[in-house]
Amino acid sequence: MPNQNAPIVNATAELYRLFYEYRRNANRQDKYTIWQKGDELILDLLEKIIEASTLAADRQETLRAASRKLNFLRVFILILKNIGSLNQEKIDKLQKQIDEIGRMLGGWIKTTK
């Protein structure tokens, strides 16, 4: 994996760590529905980022797919907030990490055009 992409991989891994920590305290019904989907989205995002770092050909499309996953994740975080599954402090931490990843991803997309 190219060295310049390590920060976005690390930021996404940190997002997963936070999400995983918060999921452990979720109620059973939410844990196996909305939280599971959020978990899958973060892992898919990480997969796309790693895939884009190793591709020479379809890198732009893979990065766009990663960006879509990140946008879906933003919606899932809002849903978790709206159903009362997360408090505002946890929402803020997740959103801060998502925003950081979004900035890195946006910059990467711009440099590959």
Domain boundaries, the chain: 3-111
Q: What is the pLDDT of residue 64?
A: 95
CA 36 to chain centre: 13
- Min mean pLDDT across 13-17, 55-59, 91-95 is at 55-59
Give domain 3-111's CATH superfamily. 23S rRNA-intervening sequence (1.20.1440.60)
Q: Which residue has the higher pLDDT, 25 or 55?
A: 25
Q: What is the pLDDT of residue 5?
A: 67
Is 0.85 topped by the overall pTM?
Answer: yes
Amino acid sitting at position 107: G
Residue 57, pLDDT > 90, answer no
pLDDT category at 51 given cuts 50, 70, 90 is very high
Q: Check the CA dihedral 30-73-104-64 and report its sign.
A: positive
